[in-house]
Structure 1
Amino acid sequence: MLDKNLGLVPRLRLKTGDIIALGPGKAQLLELIREHHSISAAARAMKMSYRRAWLLVNTMNSCFRQPLVLTATGGSQGGGAELSAEGLKVLALYREYEKAVSERPELKELTALLNTTPET
């Protein structure tokens, strides 16, 4: 059974060719890197491997003109990561776009058409 009160939730994936430049998981990873200043800490928070997180960061960095995530190699102070100005802008624009789509009247109309009766 589908609960009509939950409504439909769009999951936006922005692709360049066959590559997903940005989507819900990558946006969450960017937010966690911004919060933790670390790819490894962000990966742990998402319960994913560091390698997987690094691959996602690398994909995002290669899809945009400027890197979204800047990294510093380890040393006595350890490494770290932060969002570039471009990364902050891309993340903010993605979240605004996500919000705008979720507020579209078409989404409300589609939600009203959901089947709320139990499947047999």
Structure 2
Amino acid sequence: MDRDGPRIKLRLEYDVPLVLGPGKAQLLHLIGQHGSISAAGRQMGMSYKRAWSLVEEMNGAFALPLVDSSRGGTGGGGARITATGQAVLRHYESLERLLTDKGAADLAAIGALMKGDDT
């Protein structure tokens, strides 16, 4: 996606209640990348408490947890994205791509109706 042009930010709202948007998707991605809730939160500029709260919210909304974590200690803790978490992230990213690809003409058309930079 072109960062200089318009962007689609997908936000899915469920009755569970759960809102799954770009922040939670990025958190899941980074937990998978780093194997750590605290490292993922740090990279996003949020506290461990906030990151953990979002993980608990997501885990509580699904039949199976999206993130599995273990406490720290002498061996250190960690976190991993479960198969369910990987599936949720894969489907979310697929919807983003679909909207971006299929919505490109509509995004451009809306942009063409906006004020230019010279006004």
Secondary structure (helix, strand or coil) at the match of 2:90 reads helix
4+ aligned runs moved over 6 Å, structure 1: none
Structure 2 residue identity aligned to 1:93? H
Relative distance call for 1:117 and 1:37 in structure 2 (3 A) is: closer
Point out where structure 1 has 5 or more consecutive residues left out of the alignment.
none
Point out where structure 2 has 5 or more consecutive residues left out of the alignment.
none
Q: Greater relative contact order (Cα 8 A, min sep 6): structure 1 or 2?
A: 1
Structure 2 residue identity aligned to 1:100? L
| CA-based RMSD | 1.9
Identity over aligned pairs, percent: 45
> Aligned runs of 1:100-119 on 2, under 5 Å?
100-103=98-101, 104=103, 105-119=105-119
TM-score, normalised via structure 1 length = 0.85
Deviation at 1:96, TM superposition (A): 1.0
Relative distance call for 1:32 and 1:16 in structure 2 (3 A) is: same
CA offset digits 1:79-102 (Å, max 9, x no partner): 110000010111111111111111
**Number of the residue aligned with 1:52:** 50
8 Å CA contact 1:10, 1:101 repeated in 2: yes
Which residue of 4, 7, 27 maps to 2:5? 7
Q: Distance in 1 between matches of 2:20 and 2:71?
A: 25
Q: Distance in 2 between matches of 1:21 and 1:62?
A: 12
TM-score, normalised via structure 2 length = 0.85
CA offset digits 1:53-98 (Å, max 9, x no partner): 0011111111222111011122321111000001011111111111
8 Å CA contact 1:21, 1:59 repeated in 2: no
**Number of the residue aligned with 2:97:** 99
Deviation at 1:19, TM superposition (A): 3.9
Q: Distance in 2 between matches of 1:62 and 1:116?
A: 45
Q: Distance in 2 between matches of 1:70 and 1:21?
A: 20
